[in-house]
Structure 1
Amino acid sequence: MGTYLLRRFSYMVLILLGASMLIFFLYALTPGDFVSNNVKLSAERKAELREIYGLSKPLFERYITWMSNIFQGDFGFSLAQQKPVLELFKDYIWNSFLLAIVSTFITWFVAVIVGVVAAYKQYSWFDTLVMIGIFAAMSIPSFFIGLFVIKILAVDLHLLPPGGMISTGSNDTGWAYVLDVAKHMVMPVLIMVLLGVGSLTRYFRSNMLDVIKQDYIRTARAKGLKERTVLYRHALKNAMLPAITLIGFELPGLFGGSIILEKIFNWPGIGQLYMSSFTVRDYPLLMGFTMFLAILTVIGTLISDILYHTTDPRVRL
């Protein structure tokens, strides 16, 4: 295990080095930036700001400075927000994490149950309805279903607030604050579950169909075990193994935010901040956040590999 981890860490360093170069030069070579695109500034002031922020230095020197700062825990300074990037992460990223962790838990819970039942009752009316629902959920754009849900639940029925994280002017604390946030979370979480549960249910259904045809499942049934025990203790355990690979890709998704949904529901998350930074070309924030996601992706992949080996000892690292 120690040799494997050492080798993987060396690979991770090389991958992140390549990712950092791609991220930096992609943004740095894009025409225009926050200073040059600001029409309110004079040419003299623009030149002064470019000198202050180091934008006039050679490209490779800027990259070395940026990377050395990242190694020290400094992901840059947002020119538009006038705050360090990490400080902005602390202000916004946990709001996105709250939405993502709740929707991910519900999505996996529903997908596992529906996928197992659909595989067990293959070609039944339930399986047919599930497959229709899966393709419908995967086909509907997130902005359309988001606006449609706001129209029905918030505008027409007045059951839920149309957006935001808390009620305007609210000074609630304690459980009143928790309930207010939970009420505002219902619609964005509902949309995220609807959009994510389709592909995941299809994935579990396909895995279960492969597993329940194996010899050891027939042996378990021949022993007289209850069908629920056969499905959820024997079949599901092995059908979950390929899904462990997906866990590595869930990690950056938990912190990456949903750009479109956060914009539609006016949720103060990192996705909305990321989108607004594009409009003003705040490249330091964009580079820092993209690099942060790259780090999470590499770490998530390592975690999924270790979990795969821990869950299934037959897999050699």
Structure 2
Amino acid sequence: MLKFILRRIGASALVLLGASLLMFFLTINSGDPLKDLRESNDPNREQLMAERSERLRLDDSPWERYWDWLSGVGGCFTGNCDLGVTINGIDVLGLTQQAASSTLRLITLSTLLAIVVGVALGILTAIRQYSGFDYTVTFGAFLFFSLPVFWAATLLKEFAAIQYNNWIAVGQYAPWTIVLVAALAGFLLQAVLGGSTRRRLATAAGVFAFVAVMLFVFNALDWWRNPMFGIGGVLLVSAAAGVLVTALTAGLRNRRVLYAALTTAVVGVIAYWFTAPLLVDEPTWLLLIGLFVVAVVVSVAIGAAWGGYARKQAMLVTGITGVITSFVVVADILIAHWSDFLGLKSRPISTIGSQTPNFDGEFWERVLDMGTQILLPTILPTLVSVATHSRYTRSSMLETLNQDYVRTARSKGLSEREVIVKHAFRNALIPITTIVAFDFAALIGGAIITEEVFGWTGMGALFQDGLNAVDPAPVMAFFLVTGIAAVLMNLLADIAYAALDPRIRR
């Protein structure tokens, strides 16, 4: 396995070297970096042109300029990283650090959401092939995949930001809206669950009644502006997550794993009760990361203690349950601070920028501000990627489900969960990993449009400014970050291949 990884790293390094050479020469030959000064009437024009020529080393050969850039990048391995300066003399390394953190935060979140939602939808549509749910998801996938990014961004700005900000000022749903939302929820859930006509009608009626009652209750409690969740809600959601993860991985008949998952949820809620003063007041990111690590370690230890003969499965289930419980705890704290956040920012969903200027809230209000700023730029690429992942997952799952070994597994009397999770899904993952790797690179490239529409200062702005000015340093910084990220994702895909199918290692 180590030799396999080293070979992939060597090949990736050669790919980056060749691509960087091509990118550099394309950039420096894309225009004239002195064009604006040649057309200027400034009396110091000649002096300014000489300074810029010296700064960009225009008198040197392209090969010398490329070698100078490559040497600066090589210094990053010894702690002397030098990515050059922009056409205006600004250090590119500092600009890259700010832009990379912004873009990678956006793209990483979009990718994770797209993988989870897209793969789940793909599996469900493969299982429910040619059902109403399958046709609905297929139509939605093709619709989102074909939407122009800039037009979808405009729609999100209008309905998910402007109209929502107008509504949250009152925070009350009209009765006809409640009826419409409840009817839509009932229709969608009965399509997902399927069954006979009688069962579908019962599901739709039950969901309609439940959603309608809950929305009326939320209106009466002014929940949308003053939401509450509480310890009981955290316990309920965490326990439900533990049951769901157990059902998908080990099966509910495995009582040891189920009890381990429920124990993890209970221990997580108890820990939340005792650590609430540290979390609610004014925590730090270091404290949150430390508590998260402790939560995962304790969760895995609970699985090891409960597991018995199914120890590995129990540790996996409790680890996932612990992670979900941690996120539910953070969500509860954020919900509790929502009303205070609305007091500081009456129109919470922003359409421009990555942060609110001069925002003076406390820790959790600042987290909410960052979350609302990143919300729309995250949703946009996620919708496109979900369409891609769901289609490829569906196709791969259908191909796998028709294989002889799947029919053999069913003929042996294995449960449908074991057939889907242990036999079909594992083998269907091999082509999906390729799509995830390429999609991550495509998202980075597409982020240029997303960042432009939402005024998000990231790698896209760095690339565009450098290209417009025929300035190779920012463009090459963009390539360095995005190229390494794309190659790294492909390397992870290769490693995932080897883990899923050991034959690929050879």
Q: TM-score, normalised by structure 2?
A: 0.58
8 Å contact from structure 2 (residues 466, 473) kept in 1: no
Structure 1: distance between partners of 2:400 and 2:13: 37
Q: Which residue of 1 aligns with 2:484?
A: 295
8 Å contact from structure 1 (residues 246, 304) kept in 2: no
- For residues 171 and 274 of structure 1, do their structure 2 counterparts lie closer, same or farther at Cα, with a shift above 3 Å needed? farther
Structure 1: distance between partners of 2:111 and 2:137: 19
Q: Which residue of 2 aligns with 1:149?
A: 156
- For residues 55 and 315 of structure 1, do their structure 2 counterparts lie closer, same or farther at Cα, with a shift above 3 Å needed? same
Q: CA deviation at 1:246?
A: 3.3
Q: Which residue of 1 aligns with 2:410?
A: 221
Amino acid across the alignment from 2:56:
Y
8 Å contact from structure 1 (residues 94, 255) kept in 2: no
Give the stretch that moved more between structures: 38-47 or 250-259. 250-259
- For residues 251 and 127 of structure 1, do their structure 2 counterparts lie closer, same or farther at Cα, with a shift above 3 Å needed? closer
Q: Which residue of 1 aligns with 2:459?
A: 270
Q: CA deviation at 1:251?
A: 5.5
Deviations 1:161-199 (A, max 9, x none): 222223332123411111111122222222121111111
Structure 2: distance between partners of 1:57 and 1:259: 31
- 1:201 matched to 2:390? The reply is yes
Q: CA deviation at 1:253?
A: 5.8
Among residues 471, 474, 477, which one is paired with 1:282 in the alignment? 471
- For residues 253 and 95 of structure 1, do their structure 2 counterparts lie closer, same or farther at Cα, with a shift above 3 Å needed? farther
Q: Which residue of 2 aligns with 1:37?
A: 36
Q: CA deviation at 1:98?
A: 1.7
Structure 1: distance between partners of 2:473 and 2:376: 32
Give the stretch that moved more between structures: 62-71 or 144-153. 62-71
- For residues 183 and 308 of structure 1, do their structure 2 counterparts lie closer, same or farther at Cα, with a shift above 3 Å needed? same
1:44-83 equivalent positions in 2, closer than 5 A: 44-73=47-76, 74=81, 76-80=83-87, 82-83=89-90
Q: Which residue of 2 aligns with 1:115?
A: 122
Deviations 1:80-112 (A, max 9, x none): 463332221211211222221222111111111
8 Å contact from structure 1 (residues 96, 257) kept in 2: no
Structure 2: distance between partners of 1:71 and 1:83: 20
Give the stretch that moved more between structures: 39-48 or 253-262. 253-262
- For residues 75 and 244 of structure 1, do their structure 2 counterparts lie closer, same or farther at Cα, with a shift above 3 Å needed? farther
CA RMSD, Structure 1 to Structure 2 (Å): 2.4
- 1:242 matched to 2:431? The reply is yes
Determine which structure has the larger helix proportion and give its number: 2
Structure 2: distance between partners of 1:236 and 1:150: 37
Structure 1: distance between partners of 2:388 and 2:464: 26
Amino acid across the alignment from 1:30:
S
Structure 1: distance between partners of 2:3 and 2:416: 43
8 Å contact from structure 1 (residues 115, 204) kept in 2: yes
Q: Which residue of 2 aligns with 1:103?
A: 110
Deviations 1:129-164 (A, max 9, x none): 111111111111010011111112322331522222
Structure 2: distance between partners of 1:233 and 1:293: 35
Deviations 1:44-91 (A, max 9, x none): 320233124322112222222222222112452232463332221211
- For residues 78 and 171 of structure 1, do their structure 2 counterparts lie closer, same or farther at Cα, with a shift above 3 Å needed? farther
8 Å contact from structure 1 (residues 154, 161) kept in 2: yes
8 Å contact from structure 1 (residues 217, 235) kept in 2: yes
Structure 2 alignment gaps of length 5 or more: 169-348
Structure 2: distance between partners of 1:298 and 1:226: 39
Amino acid across the alignment from 1:133:
G
1:136-175 equivalent positions in 2, closer than 5 A: 136-158=143-165, 160-175=349-364
Report the 3-state secondary structure (helix = DSSP H, G, I; strand = E; otherwise coil) of the residue aligned with 1:314: helix
Structure 2: distance between partners of 1:201 and 1:310: 22
Report the 3-state secondary structure (helix = DSSP H, G, I; strand = E; otherwise coil) of the residue aligned with 2:504: coil
Report the 3-state secondary structure (helix = DSSP H, G, I; strand = E; otherwise coil) of the residue aligned with 2:22: helix
Give the stretch that moved more between structures: 87-96 or 133-142. 87-96
Deviations 1:195-252 (A, max 9, x none): 1111111000000000011122222222333323322232111111222223443565
8 Å contact from structure 1 (residues 96, 256) kept in 2: no
Give the stretch that moved more between structures: 154-163 or 121-130. 154-163
- For residues 157 and 227 of structure 1, do their structure 2 counterparts lie closer, same or farther at Cα, with a shift above 3 Å needed? same
- Which has the larger Rg? 2
Report the 3-state secondary structure (helix = DSSP H, G, I; strand = E; otherwise coil) of the residue aligned with 1:72: helix
Amino acid across the alignment from 1:207:
S
Structure 1 alignment gaps of length 5 or more: none
Deviations 1:260-293 (A, max 9, x none): 1112112222223322333333321112321333
- For residues 20 and 103 of structure 1, do their structure 2 counterparts lie closer, same or farther at Cα, with a shift above 3 Å needed? closer
Q: Which residue of 2 aligns with 1:90?
A: 97
Give the stretch that moved more between structures: 201-210 or 155-164. 155-164
8 Å contact from structure 2 (residues 355, 370) kept in 1: yes
8 Å contact from structure 2 (residues 52, 87) kept in 1: no
Amino acid across the alignment from 2:17:
L
Give the stretch that moved more between structures: 79-88 or 247-256. 247-256
Structure 2: distance between partners of 1:118 and 1:145: 25
Report the 3-state secondary structure (helix = DSSP H, G, I; strand = E; otherwise coil) of the residue aligned with 2:431: coil
Report the 3-state secondary structure (helix = DSSP H, G, I; strand = E; otherwise coil) of the residue aligned with 2:359: coil
